Structure 1
Amino acid sequence: MGSRPDQHVFEQRLREHRRLIAKVASVYAAGAEDRRDLEQEICVQLWRAFPGYDERRARFSTWLYRIALNVAISQVRSSAAGAGRLEPLQPHHLDTIGADEAPERDERLVALYAFIGQLEPLNRALILLYLEDRSYAEIAEVLGISETNVATKLGRIKQTLRDRMVAAEA
Protein backbone atom coordinates (compact mmCIF):
# COMPACT_ATOMS: atom_id res chain seq x y z
CA MET A 1 0.00 0.00 0.00
CA GLY A 2 1.50 3.36 -1.02
CA SER A 3 1.43 6.52 1.03
CA ARG A 4 -0.98 9.29 0.25
CA PRO A 5 0.61 12.09 -1.76
CA ASP A 6 -0.05 14.63 1.00
CA GLN A 7 1.45 12.52 3.79
CA HIS A 8 4.72 14.48 3.90
CA VAL A 9 2.88 17.83 4.07
CA PHE A 10 0.62 16.50 6.81
CA GLU A 11 3.52 15.16 8.87
CA GLN A 12 5.41 18.44 8.56
CA ARG A 13 2.41 20.52 9.64
CA LEU A 14 1.68 18.13 12.48
CA ARG A 15 5.26 18.53 13.77
CA GLU A 16 4.94 22.32 13.53
CA HIS A 17 1.70 22.31 15.55
CA ARG A 18 2.39 19.45 17.96
CA ARG A 19 2.31 21.86 20.92
CA LEU A 20 -1.32 22.82 20.17
CA ILE A 21 -2.33 19.17 20.29
CA ALA A 22 -0.48 18.71 23.58
CA LYS A 23 -2.23 21.75 25.08
CA VAL A 24 -5.68 20.48 24.17
CA ALA A 25 -4.88 17.01 25.48
CA SER A 26 -3.49 18.39 28.75
CA VAL A 27 -6.68 20.38 29.38
CA TYR A 28 -9.07 17.51 28.70
CA ALA A 29 -7.31 14.31 29.81
CA ALA A 30 -6.02 13.02 33.13
CA GLY A 31 -2.64 11.43 33.53
CA ALA A 32 0.18 10.99 31.06
CA GLU A 33 -1.24 7.82 29.49
CA ASP A 34 -4.67 9.35 28.90
CA ARG A 35 -3.06 12.48 27.43
CA ARG A 36 -0.98 10.36 25.04
CA ASP A 37 -4.12 8.41 24.05
CA LEU A 38 -6.04 11.64 23.42
CA GLU A 39 -3.14 13.12 21.44
CA GLN A 40 -3.03 9.96 19.32
CA GLU A 41 -6.79 10.05 18.72
CA ILE A 42 -6.57 13.73 17.74
CA CYS A 43 -3.78 12.91 15.27
CA VAL A 44 -5.81 10.04 13.78
CA GLN A 45 -8.82 12.31 13.30
CA LEU A 46 -6.62 15.05 11.83
CA TRP A 47 -5.18 12.55 9.34
CA ARG A 48 -8.66 11.37 8.37
CA ALA A 49 -9.84 14.94 7.86
CA PHE A 50 -6.69 16.23 6.14
CA PRO A 51 -7.81 15.46 2.57
CA GLY A 52 -10.69 17.90 3.12
CA TYR A 53 -8.52 20.68 4.52
CA ASP A 54 -8.61 23.81 2.36
CA GLU A 55 -6.05 26.47 3.29
CA ARG A 56 -8.13 29.08 1.47
CA ARG A 57 -10.95 28.60 3.98
CA ALA A 58 -8.99 28.42 7.27
CA ARG A 59 -5.51 28.64 8.68
CA PHE A 60 -4.07 25.25 9.52
CA SER A 61 -3.95 26.06 13.24
CA THR A 62 -7.63 27.04 13.20
CA TRP A 63 -8.58 23.84 11.42
CA LEU A 64 -6.41 21.80 13.80
CA TYR A 65 -7.93 23.42 16.90
CA ARG A 66 -11.45 22.74 15.64
CA ILE A 67 -10.77 19.04 15.17
CA ALA A 68 -8.68 18.65 18.33
CA LEU A 69 -11.29 20.35 20.50
CA ASN A 70 -14.13 18.37 18.92
CA VAL A 71 -12.29 15.11 19.63
CA ALA A 72 -11.52 16.17 23.20
CA ILE A 73 -15.05 17.44 23.91
CA SER A 74 -16.52 14.26 22.43
CA GLN A 75 -14.37 12.26 24.80
CA VAL A 76 -15.56 14.36 27.74
CA ARG A 77 -19.18 13.85 26.74
CA SER A 78 -18.76 10.14 26.09
CA SER A 79 -20.22 7.40 28.21
CA ALA A 80 -19.28 6.60 31.80
CA ALA A 81 -16.18 4.77 30.56
CA GLY A 82 -14.61 8.14 29.79
CA ALA A 83 -15.83 9.85 32.93
CA GLY A 84 -13.16 8.33 35.17
CA ARG A 85 -10.39 9.20 32.72
CA LEU A 86 -10.93 12.96 32.67
CA GLU A 87 -10.03 15.50 35.30
CA PRO A 88 -10.36 19.24 35.81
CA LEU A 89 -7.41 21.40 34.92
CA GLN A 90 -4.84 21.26 37.71
CA PRO A 91 -1.86 23.50 38.57
CA HIS A 92 0.59 20.91 37.20
CA HIS A 93 -0.96 21.46 33.76
CA LEU A 94 0.44 25.00 33.70
CA ASP A 95 3.64 23.75 32.10
CA THR A 96 1.81 23.00 28.84
CA ILE A 97 -0.61 25.94 28.72
CA GLY A 98 0.11 29.52 27.77
CA ALA A 99 3.46 30.99 26.84
CA ASP A 100 6.61 29.02 26.10
CA GLU A 101 7.94 29.71 29.59
CA ALA A 102 5.96 28.24 32.48
CA PRO A 103 3.87 30.99 34.08
CA GLU A 104 4.46 32.05 37.65
CA ARG A 105 2.61 29.78 40.01
CA ASP A 106 1.16 32.32 42.33
CA GLU A 107 -2.10 31.77 44.16
CA ARG A 108 -4.14 33.84 41.71
CA LEU A 109 -2.88 31.83 38.76
CA VAL A 110 -3.62 28.56 40.52
CA ALA A 111 -7.13 29.86 41.29
CA LEU A 112 -7.59 30.87 37.64
CA TYR A 113 -6.73 27.43 36.36
CA ALA A 114 -8.84 25.75 39.03
CA PHE A 115 -11.77 27.86 37.82
CA ILE A 116 -11.08 26.96 34.18
CA GLY A 117 -11.03 23.28 35.11
CA GLN A 118 -14.56 23.59 36.49
CA LEU A 119 -16.00 24.98 33.27
CA GLU A 120 -18.13 22.91 30.94
CA PRO A 121 -16.14 21.54 27.96
CA LEU A 122 -17.22 24.16 25.40
CA ASN A 123 -16.41 27.05 27.74
CA ARG A 124 -13.08 25.42 28.61
CA ALA A 125 -12.27 25.34 24.89
CA LEU A 126 -13.33 28.96 24.55
CA ILE A 127 -11.04 30.07 27.38
CA LEU A 128 -8.16 27.95 26.06
CA LEU A 129 -8.39 29.71 22.70
CA TYR A 130 -8.79 33.12 24.37
CA LEU A 131 -5.67 32.53 26.48
CA GLU A 132 -3.86 31.62 23.26
CA ASP A 133 -4.63 35.18 22.05
CA ARG A 134 -6.92 33.95 19.28
CA SER A 135 -9.23 36.58 17.82
CA TYR A 136 -12.96 36.39 18.46
CA ALA A 137 -13.38 35.61 14.75
CA GLU A 138 -10.98 32.67 14.96
CA ILE A 139 -12.54 31.39 18.20
CA ALA A 140 -15.96 31.59 16.56
CA GLU A 141 -14.68 29.70 13.53
CA VAL A 142 -13.03 26.98 15.59
CA LEU A 143 -16.03 26.45 17.87
CA GLY A 144 -18.70 26.94 15.22
CA ILE A 145 -20.46 29.77 17.05
CA SER A 146 -20.93 33.44 16.21
CA GLU A 147 -18.48 36.16 17.25
CA THR A 148 -21.30 37.72 19.27
CA ASN A 149 -21.76 34.43 21.11
CA VAL A 150 -18.00 34.29 21.76
CA ALA A 151 -18.06 37.81 23.20
CA THR A 152 -21.13 37.08 25.32
CA LYS A 153 -19.77 33.81 26.70
CA LEU A 154 -16.35 35.33 27.41
CA GLY A 155 -17.98 38.28 29.15
CA ARG A 156 -19.98 35.97 31.39
CA ILE A 157 -16.98 33.77 32.14
CA LYS A 158 -14.81 36.79 32.97
CA GLN A 159 -17.48 38.25 35.26
CA THR A 160 -17.90 34.94 37.07
CA LEU A 161 -14.13 34.71 37.38
CA ARG A 162 -13.89 38.26 38.79
CA ASP A 163 -16.63 37.46 41.30
CA ARG A 164 -14.87 34.29 42.41
CA MET A 165 -11.48 35.95 42.65
CA VAL A 166 -12.91 38.80 44.76
CA ALA A 167 -14.71 36.30 46.99
CA ALA A 168 -11.50 34.27 47.41
CA GLU A 169 -9.52 37.36 48.42
CA ALA A 170 -12.14 38.49 50.93
Structure 2
Amino acid sequence: MNSTLKDRLLHDWLTKHQGLLLKIVRTFSFTPHDREDLFQEIVFQLWRSAERYNSETAAETTWIYRVGLNTAISWSRKEKTRQKQRNELSHIAPLLNSSSEPSDPRLEWLYEQIGLLNNIDRSLTLMMLDGFSYQEIADTLGVSVNNVGVKLNRIKKHLSQRASEIENEV
Protein backbone atom coordinates (compact mmCIF):
# COMPACT_ATOMS: atom_id res chain seq x y z
CA MET A 1 0.00 0.00 0.00
CA ASN A 2 1.50 3.33 -0.99
CA SER A 3 1.83 6.26 1.37
CA THR A 4 -0.94 8.31 -0.27
CA LEU A 5 -3.44 5.47 0.05
CA LYS A 6 -2.46 4.94 3.70
CA ASP A 7 -2.86 8.66 4.36
CA ARG A 8 -6.35 8.65 2.83
CA LEU A 9 -7.36 5.56 4.80
CA LEU A 10 -6.05 7.12 8.01
CA HIS A 11 -7.91 10.37 7.31
CA ASP A 12 -11.11 8.39 6.72
CA TRP A 13 -10.63 6.43 9.96
CA LEU A 14 -9.93 9.59 11.94
CA THR A 15 -12.98 11.32 10.50
CA LYS A 16 -15.33 8.39 11.19
CA HIS A 17 -13.91 7.22 14.51
CA GLN A 18 -12.61 10.34 16.23
CA GLY A 19 -15.03 9.90 19.14
CA LEU A 20 -13.90 6.32 19.73
CA LEU A 21 -10.24 7.37 19.72
CA LEU A 22 -10.89 10.26 22.09
CA LYS A 23 -12.65 7.91 24.53
CA ILE A 24 -9.64 5.60 24.52
CA VAL A 25 -7.30 8.54 25.02
CA ARG A 26 -9.38 9.98 27.85
CA THR A 27 -9.59 6.61 29.57
CA PHE A 28 -5.84 5.99 29.53
CA SER A 29 -4.43 9.50 30.02
CA PHE A 30 -5.30 12.15 32.54
CA THR A 31 -3.68 15.43 31.54
CA PRO A 32 -4.09 17.42 28.33
CA HIS A 33 -0.42 16.91 27.47
CA ASP A 34 -0.63 13.14 27.97
CA ARG A 35 -3.87 13.01 25.98
CA GLU A 36 -2.16 14.75 23.09
CA ASP A 37 0.85 12.40 23.28
CA LEU A 38 -1.31 9.29 23.41
CA PHE A 39 -3.57 10.48 20.59
CA GLN A 40 -0.53 11.09 18.38
CA GLU A 41 0.87 7.67 19.22
CA ILE A 42 -2.44 5.96 18.37
CA VAL A 43 -2.68 7.85 15.07
CA PHE A 44 0.88 6.84 14.22
CA GLN A 45 0.19 3.19 15.04
CA LEU A 46 -3.01 3.25 12.96
CA TRP A 47 -1.03 4.65 10.04
CA ARG A 48 1.67 2.00 10.46
CA SER A 49 -0.88 -0.82 10.67
CA ALA A 50 -3.14 0.35 7.83
CA GLU A 51 -1.64 -2.04 5.30
CA ARG A 52 -2.30 -5.00 7.61
CA TYR A 53 -6.00 -4.14 7.95
CA ASN A 54 -8.24 -6.69 6.23
CA SER A 55 -11.96 -5.90 6.16
CA GLU A 56 -12.73 -9.59 5.64
CA THR A 57 -11.24 -10.63 9.00
CA ALA A 58 -12.18 -7.67 11.21
CA ALA A 59 -14.70 -4.87 11.21
CA GLU A 60 -13.16 -1.44 10.79
CA THR A 61 -14.26 -0.33 14.27
CA THR A 62 -12.91 -3.51 15.84
CA TRP A 63 -9.55 -3.01 14.10
CA ILE A 64 -9.33 0.59 15.25
CA TYR A 65 -10.24 -0.42 18.80
CA ARG A 66 -7.63 -3.17 18.73
CA VAL A 67 -4.85 -0.86 17.55
CA GLY A 68 -6.00 1.99 19.82
CA LEU A 69 -6.32 -0.10 22.97
CA ASN A 70 -3.07 -2.00 22.43
CA THR A 71 -1.27 1.28 21.84
CA ALA A 72 -2.88 2.84 24.92
CA ILE A 73 -1.97 -0.12 27.11
CA SER A 74 1.63 -0.07 25.90
CA TRP A 75 1.81 3.73 26.27
CA SER A 76 0.34 3.46 29.78
CA ARG A 77 3.03 0.99 30.86
CA LYS A 78 5.77 3.26 29.54
CA GLU A 79 4.13 6.30 31.13
CA LYS A 80 4.07 4.63 34.57
CA THR A 81 7.81 4.12 34.28
CA ARG A 82 8.33 7.76 33.31
CA GLN A 83 6.11 8.97 36.15
CA LYS A 84 8.18 7.11 38.69
CA GLN A 85 11.15 9.18 37.55
CA ARG A 86 9.54 12.59 37.97
CA ASN A 87 7.50 14.38 40.59
CA GLU A 88 3.73 14.36 40.31
CA LEU A 89 2.19 17.82 40.04
CA SER A 90 -1.12 16.78 41.57
CA HIS A 91 -1.77 20.18 43.18
CA ILE A 92 -2.12 21.76 39.74
CA ALA A 93 -3.91 18.83 38.04
CA PRO A 94 -7.28 20.62 38.04
CA LEU A 95 -5.69 23.40 35.97
CA LEU A 96 -4.50 20.86 33.42
CA ASN A 97 -7.89 19.28 32.75
CA SER A 98 -9.46 20.21 29.45
CA SER A 99 -12.20 22.78 29.88
CA SER A 100 -13.49 22.29 26.33
CA GLU A 101 -15.41 19.15 27.32
CA PRO A 102 -18.81 19.54 28.97
CA SER A 103 -18.59 19.04 32.70
CA ASP A 104 -21.01 16.42 33.96
CA PRO A 105 -20.06 15.28 37.47
CA ARG A 106 -21.44 11.79 36.84
CA LEU A 107 -19.41 11.41 33.68
CA GLU A 108 -16.30 12.75 35.41
CA TRP A 109 -16.85 10.26 38.25
CA LEU A 110 -17.25 7.41 35.77
CA TYR A 111 -14.04 8.31 33.91
CA GLU A 112 -12.25 8.60 37.24
CA GLN A 113 -13.47 5.15 38.33
CA ILE A 114 -12.61 3.59 34.97
CA GLY A 115 -9.17 5.18 35.25
CA LEU A 116 -8.59 3.32 38.51
CA LEU A 117 -9.11 -0.06 36.81
CA ASN A 118 -6.23 -2.05 35.37
CA ASN A 119 -5.56 -1.68 31.64
CA ILE A 120 -7.51 -4.73 30.51
CA ASP A 121 -10.53 -3.87 32.68
CA ARG A 122 -10.44 -0.30 31.33
CA SER A 123 -10.46 -1.64 27.81
CA LEU A 124 -13.31 -4.05 28.52
CA THR A 125 -15.38 -1.32 30.14
CA LEU A 126 -14.81 1.17 27.37
CA MET A 127 -15.79 -1.30 24.67
CA MET A 128 -18.85 -2.44 26.65
CA LEU A 129 -19.98 1.18 27.05
CA ASP A 130 -19.63 1.59 23.29
CA GLY A 131 -21.99 -1.33 22.72
CA PHE A 132 -19.58 -3.97 21.50
CA SER A 133 -20.67 -7.59 21.89
CA TYR A 134 -18.79 -9.89 24.21
CA GLN A 135 -17.49 -11.73 21.12
CA GLU A 136 -16.16 -8.51 19.56
CA ILE A 137 -14.50 -7.53 22.84
CA ALA A 138 -12.97 -10.99 23.18
CA ASP A 139 -11.65 -10.89 19.61
CA THR A 140 -10.20 -7.42 20.05
CA LEU A 141 -8.48 -8.08 23.37
CA GLY A 142 -7.52 -11.70 22.76
CA VAL A 143 -9.44 -13.18 25.69
CA SER A 144 -12.29 -15.69 25.85
CA VAL A 145 -15.92 -14.61 25.64
CA ASN A 146 -16.50 -16.22 29.04
CA ASN A 147 -13.63 -14.20 30.53
CA VAL A 148 -15.17 -11.00 29.10
CA GLY A 149 -18.50 -11.81 30.74
CA VAL A 150 -17.00 -12.62 34.11
CA LYS A 151 -14.77 -9.54 34.15
CA LEU A 152 -17.55 -7.19 33.04
CA ASN A 153 -19.93 -8.52 35.68
CA ARG A 154 -17.26 -7.94 38.34
CA ILE A 155 -16.57 -4.43 37.04
CA LYS A 156 -20.27 -3.55 36.98
CA LYS A 157 -20.67 -4.86 40.53
CA HIS A 158 -17.63 -2.89 41.68
CA LEU A 159 -18.84 0.35 40.06
CA SER A 160 -22.32 -0.12 41.52
CA GLN A 161 -20.87 -0.64 44.98
CA ARG A 162 -18.69 2.48 44.64
CA ALA A 163 -21.71 4.51 43.50
CA SER A 164 -23.73 3.25 46.47
CA GLU A 165 -20.92 4.09 48.88
CA ILE A 166 -20.68 7.61 47.55
CA GLU A 167 -24.46 8.03 47.59
CA ASN A 168 -24.55 6.91 51.23
CA GLU A 169 -21.80 9.40 52.11
CA VAL A 170 -23.84 12.29 50.71
**TM range, normalised to the smaller chain?**
0.7 to 0.9
Q: What's the Cα RMSD here?
A: 2.8
Letter in 2 for 1:25: V
Q: Deviation string for 1:84-123 (max 9, x for gaps)?
A: 68x9xx9x68x86xxxxx58534xx554333222111110
Q: 1:65 to 1:110 in 2, by over 3 A?
A: same
Q: 1:43 to 1:111 in 2, by over 3 A?
A: closer
**Distance in 1 between the 2:28 and 2:109 partners?**
18
Identity of aligned residues (%): 36
2:73 counterpart SS class = helix
Show the counterpart of 1:99. Answer: none
1:17 counterpart SS class = helix
8 A Cα contact 1:29 1:38, kept in partner: yes
**Distance in 2 between the 1:128 and 1:103 partners?**
19
Show the counterpart of 2:23. Answer: 23
- Runs (4+) off by over 4 Å: 82-85
Number of residues of Structure 1 aligned to a counterpart in Structure 2:
158
Show the counterpart of 2:74. Answer: 74
Question: By how many angstroms is 1:141 displaced?
Answer: 1.4
Deviation larger for 7-16 or 27-36: 7-16
Higher relative contact order, chain-length normalized (CA < 8 Å, sep 6+) = 2
Q: Deviation string for 1:136-170 (max 9, x for gaps)?
A: 11111111111111100001111122222223333
Show the counterpart of 2:61. Answer: 61
Structure 1, gaps ≥5 residues long: 97-101
Structure 2, gaps ≥5 residues long: none
- Answering whether residue 113 of structure 2 is matched by residue 115 of structure 1, we say yes
Show the counterpart of 2:33. Answer: 33
Match of 2:165 among 155, 164, 167: 167
**Distance in 1 between the 2:158 and 2:12 partners?**
40
Question: By how many angstroms is 1:27 displaced?
Answer: 1.3
8 A Cα contact 1:75 1:82, kept in partner: no
Question: By how many angstroms is 1:8 displaced?
Answer: 1.9
Q: 1:54 to 1:128 in 2, by over 3 A?
A: same
Higher helix share: 2
Question: By how many angstroms is 1:4 displaced?
Answer: 4.3
8 A Cα contact 1:117 1:124, kept in partner: yes
1:152 counterpart SS class = helix
